[in-house]
Structure 1
Amino acid sequence: MRDRDTDVPTAGDGIGRRIARARKLRGLTQQQLADRVPCSKSLIAQVERGHKPATQALVAAVARTLRIEPGELTGQPYRDPAAREDRVHECVPEIRRALLAWDLPDEDLLPPSAELLRADVRRASALGRQAQYIRLGEMLPGLLDELTRAAHASEGARRDEIFGLLSEAYTGVTAIAYTLGYFDLRSSAMDRVAWAARASQDPLRVARTQWQRSTLFLATATYDRGLALLGQVRRDIGEDLGRMTPAELSVYGAAHLRSAIFAARAADRQTAFDHIEHAREAARVLGRDANHYGLEFGPSNVSMHEVAVAVEMYDGGEAVRRAQNVTLPATVAPVRRGHHYIDLARGWLYHGDRQKSLEMLFAARRVAPQQTRNHPMVHETVRMLVDLERRRPHTLSGFARWLGMP
């Protein structure tokens, strides 16, 4: 039997339509694609027809199966030259040039002092926590050049410190690349993060880099390898929480939280929530929200990941139930708070409450507008809301226009 026509868009060219087009170009039926993902044919059919939103797990699995980049399905990077917010993309060419010069410092210029470099990296990290990607993108090329000069001109302990700062600055590149959907830039930046971390001679920074590297396995639906990598991170730190330093607790707990997301995307519910409980115990021992190595680990992050795990498994009821116990202090970084609201918007949509879903999208926009505007799950959630609402409220139409959706 032929699949029903999925080429007529409703609320723009969404993920479902892109999946259908890519599948047909490869001569596969919905059943054949479902068998290879694997998932049910019903899920593929509902997503292609716009009756059900695509999850990040499905996007990654379909992209892997069809041997294409995830951006071909999400439509990233989202570009609207007429929009003021689109300025964030202007930094990408200069960032690429800075990455290319990782081993070619400008020796005609003296490097800044270590004190000045520390302050600049702190400022860049703060911009990343605030999801201020335009300002971060404008700052990074020059900062990377200065750090590169300083790292190659230093020796001993000062050299180790500068390479640690350089690794942190490269992490800012991965944040921008991930947010905007430049997957090639994200991968090359990760290589630079790992190189600088190893040169810093800091085992915990290297472990943090491995945690960060796991996101590449997440994006390609390579769950077994990602879980193995995170397991190695935890084993290298150890299992005795009472003997861990606060920084070690943060890296160990963050590895469990990331493992929970991997397990959720692999539809292993029990393992996912087991990892959440291990992370909760590490957070209890730590005793507070912290930000060692930019990991934002602590009780708040554990609570937010509980909700995220349920959302990853399409369990809106569980996501909403667990969200009732989440109270975020004002100290939670906007980038984390915004991501939580994006997850909750999906959770409420799966739960059947479209008004609550839209409210969460607006909450995400208030705290992290640049992150929200470029997140593929925001675009997918809004497309579903537009399709489902016969009488679209003015607020929903305005939000869709702000995203640049037709």
Structure 2
Amino acid sequence: MREESVPVALALNRERPCAIAWECRSHRRCRALRESTPEAIGPRIARARKLRGLTQQQLADRVPCSKSLIAQVERGHKPASQALIAGVARTLRVEPGELTGQPYHSDKPKEERLHAAIPDLRRALLSWDLPDEDVQPRPVADLAADVKRASKLGRDAHYGRLGDMLPGLLEELTVAVHAAPAGQQAPLFALLSEAYTGATAISYALGYFDLRSLAMERIEWAARRSGDPLRVARTQWQRSTLFLAGASYRRGAQLLDRVRHDIGEDIARMDPATLSVYGATHLRSAIFAARMPQAAAAWAHIDEAREAARLLGADANYYGLEFGPSNVAIHEVAVAVEMYDGTEAVRRASRITLPQTVAPVRLGHFYIDLSRGWLYHGDRARALDTLYAARQVAPQQTRNHPQVRETVRMFVDLERRRPKSLSGFASWLGVP
């Protein structure tokens, strides 16, 4: 994509909002918006780098990446990728949230509702071994129905509604599992592990990274007591996301290799649930390889996952993994984007026809990745159109995704004549 300079101060009309909010000093409305909006990732990286006494070249050498990339991200000419954020956070020894500015709060009650459940959710996770004596759990069938409903809310990226129901459900399940006789605890632990997964979905989407790590511990604790080896394997697949966020790609890849070793490699004899776990680990391994970067290994993992999906025959949702041909196709685009190959991402996406049954949370991620693919390909208009598609299928997920915000910030910065679609999207995000 051709690099463009940031437009400087334009002639301002006091009768209407300014064209570039952060360059206006006379309009109170624009100044208030600027002050209430989280700072962009680029300036946050620059400040953290300077506090460590590093030059751009020194930071680039340690990530590693090019000095040009660091310079362009810090100036706002390029949006920071998830891989760059993770690498910089690891190098500068800061939490990713210090660079992304997450969680993103809003002065709109509807948006702020997403965060209202976090204190209760945190208390529920901390009380894993301290059941509330005042809570009377419902019958197991009712609890199982609610866990299924919670899983669907997470699948549909309805985090506000999920947050409303999850703390109380976790409290009930905690009481139930501790009160049950030893021989009847296993299915309750399975339900509790599944419900804890909802906590990781909310914390990941909103950027509560410490809460996410705590929820991961609870998931594994409950899964191991469920007596289900595949559920335990699934928790290790989920645990690998922490290695992605920490830019510890080699160890994350080793973890997934171990999972596959434990469940076996003879896919011809695997049942559908095992195929799903096996295939999902290859998809995650492909992302690790792409970030290292090891292109041949990344595409080899995609091929292994595709073969598992072929044997599975259709999309399935064992253990909430959503594995199948559609998810393999989605990860093909993601791998190309992780390796900054926008043309390949766009090419592969052009061959994909995703069924309506694909989970909105997966579809949202797909469109967010594809938007970045169009950006790397040099087509900003298509990139913005694709973000609108992500917003349509998974609005809460899209609004809280740091890559979406950084991409839109860059568009606002570089576009001299902003189309109404860009202004509208930026306003929806709360980006000036």
Which amino acid is 1:353 matched to? D
Which amino acid is 2:388 matched to? F
Distance 1:213 1:67 in 2: 20
Which amino acid is 1:377 matched to? Q
Distance 2:107 2:166 in 1: 22
TM-score (norm 2): 0.90
1:141-193 Cα offsets, whole Å, 9 max, x none, are 00001100111111345310010000000000000000000000000110000
TM-score (norm 1): 0.96
Between structure 1 and structure 2, the one with the greater Rg is: 2
Which amino acid is 1:219 matched to? A
Distance 2:382 2:69 in 1: 24
The aligned counterpart of 1:3 is: none
Distance 1:179 1:347 in 2: 21
Distance 2:394 2:403 in 1: 14
Which amino acid is 2:290 matched to? A
Percentage of matched positions with identical amino acids: 72
Distance 1:212 1:198 in 2: 14
Matches within 5 A, 1:191-210: 191-210=217-236
Question: By how many angstroms is 1:109 displaced?
Answer: 4.0
The aligned counterpart of 1:286 is: 312
The aligned counterpart of 2:47 is: 21
- Which sections of structure 1, spanning at least 5 residues, go unmatched? 1-7
Question: By how many angstroms is 1:83 displaced?
Answer: 4.9
Distance 1:81 1:148 in 2: 34
Distance 1:404 1:86 in 2: 12
Matches within 5 A, 1:138-153: 138-153=164-179
Distance 2:134 2:384 in 1: 54
The aligned counterpart of 1:4 is: none
Quick one: which of 275, 282, 296 aligns to 1:249?
275
Which amino acid is 1:285 matched to? L
Quick one: which of 309, 321, 330 aligns to 1:304?
330
Distance 1:381 1:22 in 2: 21
Distance 1:157 1:276 in 2: 41
Q: Root-mean-square deviation (CA), in Å?
A: 1.4
Quick one: which of 349, 354, 363 aligns to 1:337?
363
The aligned counterpart of 1:128 is: 154
1:78-111 Cα offsets, whole Å, 9 max, x none, are 0112352221000101101111111111234432
Matches within 5 A, 1:342-381: 342-381=368-407
- Do structure 1's residue 230 and structure 2's residue 253 form an aligned pair? no
**SS of 1:267 mapped into structure 2:** coil
The aligned counterpart of 2:429 is: 403
Question: By how many angstroms is 1:49 displaced?
Answer: 1.4
The aligned counterpart of 2:340 is: 314
The aligned counterpart of 2:244 is: 218
The aligned counterpart of 1:325 is: 351
Distance 1:156 1:248 in 2: 27
- Do structure 1's residue 188 and structure 2's residue 214 form an aligned pair? yes
**SS of 1:54 mapped into structure 2:** coil
Matches within 5 A, 1:35-50: 35-50=61-76
Distance 1:373 1:274 in 2: 33
- Do structure 1's residue 160 and structure 2's residue 194 form an aligned pair? no
* Corresponding pairs, count: 399
The aligned counterpart of 1:114 is: 140
Question: By how many angstroms is 1:28 displaced?
Answer: 0.5
Which amino acid is 1:311 matched to? V
336-345 vs 100-109, greater mean Cα deviation: 100-109
Quick one: which of 57, 63, 66 aligns to 2:83?
57
1:12-33 Cα offsets, whole Å, 9 max, x none, are 7321111111101111101111
379-388 vs 116-125, greater mean Cα deviation: 379-388
Question: By how many angstroms is 1:398 displaced?
Answer: 1.0
CA contact (8 A) 2:135 2:172 kept: no
1:287-335 Cα offsets, whole Å, 9 max, x none, are 0000000000000000000000111111110100000111110100000
Distance 2:134 2:427 in 1: 48
Matches within 5 A, 1:50-129: 50-129=76-155
Which amino acid is 1:375 matched to? H
Which amino acid is 1:340 matched to? F
The aligned counterpart of 1:239 is: 265
Which amino acid is 1:145 matched to? E
**SS of 2:80 mapped into structure 1:** coil
The aligned counterpart of 2:27 is: none
Distance 1:81 1:388 in 2: 27
Distance 1:82 1:136 in 2: 19
278-287 vs 153-162, greater mean Cα deviation: 153-162
**SS of 1:363 mapped into structure 2:** helix
Which amino acid is 2:177 matched to? A
Distance 1:311 1:157 in 2: 48
- Which sections of structure 2, spanning at least 5 residues, go unmatched? 1-8, 10-21, 24-33
Which amino acid is 1:165 matched to? L
Which amino acid is 1:179 matched to? A
Which amino acid is 1:404 matched to? G
